[in-house]
Structure 1
Amino acid sequence: MRAVTRTAPAKINLGLDITGTRADGYHLLETVFQAVSIADTVTVAMTESPEITLTCDVPAVPCSPKNIAWKAAQRYREAAGLQSGVQIQILKRIPMEAGMGGGSTDGAAVLLALQELTGNALPQEKLLEIAVSLGADVPFFLYGGTAYGAGIGEKLEPLPLFSTDCLVIAKGTAGVSTAQAYGAIDALQNPKHPPVQQLRKALEAGGTAAEIAPLCGNLFELAVELEEVQQIRSTMLEQGALCSVMTGSGAAVFGLFPNRESAESACAVLWKQVPFAEVCHTL
């Protein structure tokens, strides 16, 4: 039984804005995705028995058709006309309910692993179509790097890689339901929107972390009111962060720091306050 193991990186949203709602209820967004080095490990094998099986080292992760990785395997099988089963193993390192795309990146990793196992049974357009059907973040994880996203996240444009190893990501004990977060967004009255287009242009011009930081922002910060998020942001800024912004619909927070020393110092302080804090780099 041949297996493929893939690294499934997390993401942060350097900028995230909601620009409207489609007729089918999906929210329209514009964002700048950035892949980071915090990652799950996903191993996929094709089996003679027809079942899809999924295991994970974190008990809270659903090992059932509710999991995006499971759905990815099922939809790939249907699209490619495969009769074989799929065995998926996930080693989870991306925190849950963090806005870091943990489920989405696992789903993308399954799609890419099945492409490798089948010798690219599906054209790239079909793979992207499946990714879009799985969730707004999944298409980005087929490519990674730094990218501008629009629509519901499926309209992607690669940007010059934003390279830094002075990034700290932290998360408290509370999580955020994506559905609840979008509901709170809908209730906002005349919110101040983050300058995603300015951020995009700065990245296209090869902006430094100091130039990028003032343009980073997330509309969800106005909608998701978690004391832990505010505490993490305050700590990062007190420790010298150039900016501190919640990612996705929460509840993880990233901070861009001017150098590695200040990033590691801030991380040490955060470890005393929250269960997850890590210095990482962009991919």
Structure 2
Amino acid sequence: MNTIQMKAFGKVNLGLDVVRRRADGYHEVRMIMQTVQLFDKVSIEKRSKAGIRIKTNLPFLPVNANNIAYKAAKMLMDEFGIQAGVAIDIEKHIPVAAGMAGGSTDGAAVLYGINRLFNLGLSKRQLMERGVKLGADVPYCILRGTVLSEGIGEILTPVKALPDCHILIAKPPVSVSTKYVYEHLKLDDSIRHPDIDGMVAALKNGDLSGVTSRMGNVLESVTAVKHPEIEAIKQTMIREGALGALMSGSGPTVFGIFDDKEKGKQAREILKQGTLARQVYLVRPYNIRPYHK
């Protein structure tokens, strides 16, 4: 095998709670992560010339050591003494800096791809252990599916899959720094914490409305205040029939869950015609488990 092509799927957070800020500055979280059928295309080709070459369809993305895909390739190539080079092509479709793990999922795909191309024999668990060194979301992007995430995001427990539905994704024309959001998060009595345990129970029972009625994201207390278009997009989705709508991750992407495809399509067209969102997609959950066992 000299070339491998992969789909690197994005995610949304059905629920995101921050439990506390630790003494080391990291935040402990409890989240329900859900892979969605919106993906980047990542291909890796072996080259006889040493080195790592990155290409992408977005001119503003770094194609050097600042790209997480580059870091992922270098990590494994250094560890295993790989002398050959690789050419990595990334066709981006997941919104950038949007709370959907677009960079992390590309990094996860590269870890998997290098492992396969060079027959390194790393297991899923071993890839996840390396992935957390690149970013907290990378292990999840290797695991994929519907997952309870705890700790700083590295403790992952698969839960029963989200019932089939239609997920409308809309990214307003702003970008958000995750670092900024966490630095400005105030965990005081005004914060409404989502019912993560209740959401897990609803998933176990296949209760879609039980999931959507419990959706919540404490980071909205920072991002949505700074960017009021987030709340406006949520209200548009609810008005058009979404069972629930929420900001994903640190934002600014908003998603709405619909049990009626036509209502989802109508909401998509309304958002496309307006000025609130620049990128709008109607997708479904993606519940195929990890790249490999």
Shorter-chain TM band: over 0.9
Paired position in structure 1 for 2:283: 280
Bigger CA drift: 104-113 or 20-29? 20-29
Is the partner of 2:193 in helix, strand or coil? coil
Paired position in structure 1 for 2:218: 219
Bigger CA drift: 174-183 or 45-54? 45-54
1:238 is aligned to 2:239: yes
Map 1:11-90 onto structure 2 (within 5 A): 11-90=11-90
Is the partner of 2:143 in helix, strand or coil? coil
Question: Could you tell me whether the CA contact under 8 Å between 1:174 and 1:228 is conserved in 2?
Answer: no
Q: Hey, what's the Cα distance between the residues in 2 that align with 1:88 and 1:138?
A: 18
Amino acid at match of 2:188: Q
RMSD, aligned α-carbons: 1.4
Q: Hey, what's the Cα distance between the residues in 1 that align with 2:214 and 2:162?
A: 14
CA positional deviation for 1:154: 1.2
When normalised by structure 1's length, the TM-score is 0.95
Sequence identity percentage: 36
1:102 is aligned to 2:105: no
User: How many residues in Structure 1 have an aligned counterpart in Structure 2?
Assistant: 281
CA positional deviation for 1:264: 0.5
Q: Hey, what's the Cα distance between the residues in 2 that align with 1:239 and 1:139?
A: 35
Amino acid at match of 2:284: H
Map 1:52-201 onto structure 2 (within 5 A): 52-185=52-185, 187-190=186-189, 191-201=191-201
Question: Could you tell me whether the CA contact under 8 Å between 2:124 and 2:142 is conserved in 1?
Answer: no
When normalised by structure 2's length, the TM-score is 0.92
Is the partner of 1:121 in helix, strand or coil? coil
Amino acid at match of 2:232: Q
Question: Could you tell me whether the CA contact under 8 Å between 2:11 and 2:36 is conserved in 1?
Answer: yes
CA positional deviation for 1:130: 1.3
CA positional deviation for 1:117: 0.7
1:205-262 residue CA offsets vs partner (Å, 9 max, x unmatched): 222x222110111111111121110110111111111111000000000101121011
Q: Hey, what's the Cα distance between the residues in 2 that align with 1:252 and 1:22?
A: 27
CA positional deviation for 1:123: 4.0
Question: Could you tell me whether the CA contact under 8 Å between 1:80 and 1:122 is conserved in 2?
Answer: no
Is the partner of 2:264 in helix, strand or coil? helix
Q: Hey, what's the Cα distance between the residues in 1 that align with 2:77 and 2:204?
A: 38
Unaligned runs of 5+ in 2: 287-293
Question: Could you tell me whether the CA contact under 8 Å between 2:165 and 2:285 is conserved in 1?
Answer: yes
Q: Hey, what's the Cα distance between the residues in 2 that align with 1:211 and 1:126?
A: 35
Unaligned runs of 5+ in 1: none
Amino acid at match of 2:279: F
1:59-98 residue CA offsets vs partner (Å, 9 max, x unmatched): 1211111111111011111222222222110000001111
